[in-house]
């Protein structure tokens, strides 16, 4: 979906946007970019803390973008550093010394339509797919790398995505929850402010 050059630009822009925010400045909309970065695509910005064994430090995104990919990345980056309710705001020294920035570009959601919800685990693949669930007035999303990093199989991945939405883990079995899959292209720093590489996932599920 995105070239390595533009993936590197996304990560660099995310880092600059956070740095501007931490300095009390606004990182305005960017207009002069390639058509690839002007396309509205879903994106998540994830922050990892190297001082805590690469523990999660923030993650905010939007699978339903209205802005360009680059400007959506700017917004999500600042929100990941300042607005993730699970964490306190990232501090400037912390950001410069120990925070790794990762940007995941999402493919469009593909709803999985089956006669029996029990067949859902057979229609997703750990290491390839991310999940989005929608039901009972709530939604939840997990990026593809979550299943790989946590060692989930496909059924566990579905359970965890339902939990993320605030549902019972087996809610996907009821048939009352819509499930969609998507793919993610992941660009990450190798160290805070360091070289950007495209992260390839390895499947760990029963099909991977």
| The pLDDT value given to residue 33 | 77
Task: Kindly indicate the confidence band of residue 206, based on its pLDDT and cuts at 50, 70 and 90.
Answer: very low
Domains recognised in the chain with CATH numbers: 4-107+184-199 (3.30.700.20), 110-182 (3.30.1490.150)
Residue 57: half-sphere exposure toward Cβ, Cα within 13 Å: 22
Residue recorded with tokens 């979550």: 146
Residue 162 burial by Cβ neighbours in a 10 Å radius (0-12, 13-18, 19+): buried
pLDDT at 42 over 60: yes
Percent of the chain with pLDDT over 70: 96
In sequence order, what are the residues at sequence separation of 6 or more whose Cβ sits closer than 8 angstroms to the Cβ of residue 90? 18, 22, 47, 57, 58, 81, 82, 99
pLDDT at 155 over 80: yes
pLDDT in tens, 108-133: 999 999 999 999 999 999 999 999 99
Task: Kindly indicate the confidence band of residue 31, based on its pLDDT and cuts at 50, 70 and 90.
Answer: confident
- Answer yes or no: are the C-beta atoms of 90 and 99 closer than 8 Å: yes
- Answer yes or no: are the C-beta atoms of 142 and 131 closer than 8 Å: yes
Task: Kindly indicate the confidence band of residue 208, based on its pLDDT and cuts at 50, 70 and 90.
Answer: very low
SS3 content of the chain, % helix, strand, coil (to 5): 35, 25, 40
Strands 43-49 and 55-62: antiparallel
What average pLDDT score do residues 17-42 get? 89
What average pLDDT score do residues 61-70 get? 94
Residue 163: half-sphere exposure toward Cβ, Cα within 13 Å: 7
Q: Is 79 helix (H, G, I), strand (E, B) or coil?
A: helix
**Nearest-angstrom CA–CA distance, 147 and 40:** 26
| The pLDDT value given to residue 11 | 97
| The pLDDT value given to residue 32 | 65
Task: Kindly indicate the confidence band of residue 30, based on its pLDDT and cuts at 50, 70 and 90.
Answer: confident
Task: Kindly indicate the confidence band of residue 203, based on its pLDDT and cuts at 50, 70 and 90.
Answer: low
Full-model pTM: 0.94
DSSP state of 126: T
| The pLDDT value given to residue 207 | 43
């Amino acid at each position: 979906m995105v070239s390595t050059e533009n993936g590197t630009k996304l990560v660099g822009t995310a880092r600059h946007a956070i740095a501007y925010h931490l300095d009390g400045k606004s990182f305005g909309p960017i207009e002069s970019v390639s058509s690839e970065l002007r396309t509205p695509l879903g994106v998540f910005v994830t922050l990892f803390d190297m001082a805590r064994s690469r523990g999660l430090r923030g993650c905010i995104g939007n699978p339903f973008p209205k802005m360009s990919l680059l400007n959506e990345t700017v917004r999500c980056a600042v929100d990941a550093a300042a607005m993730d309710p699970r964490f306190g705001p990232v501090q400037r020294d912390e950001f410069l010394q120990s925070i790794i920035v990762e940007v995941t570009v999402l493919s469009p959601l593909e709803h999985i339509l089956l006669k029996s919800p029990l067949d859902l685990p057979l229609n997703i693949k750990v290491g390839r797919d991310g999940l989005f669930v929608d039901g009972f007035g709530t939604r939840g999303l997990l990026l593809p790398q979550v299943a790989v990093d946590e060692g989930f199989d496909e059924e566990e991945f579905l359970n965890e995505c339902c939990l993320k939405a605030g549902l019972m883990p087996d809610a996907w079995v009821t048939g009352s929850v819509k499930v969609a899959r998507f793919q993610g292209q992941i660009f990450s720093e190798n160290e805070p402010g360091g070289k950007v590489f495209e992260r390839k996932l390895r499947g760990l599920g029963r099909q991977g």
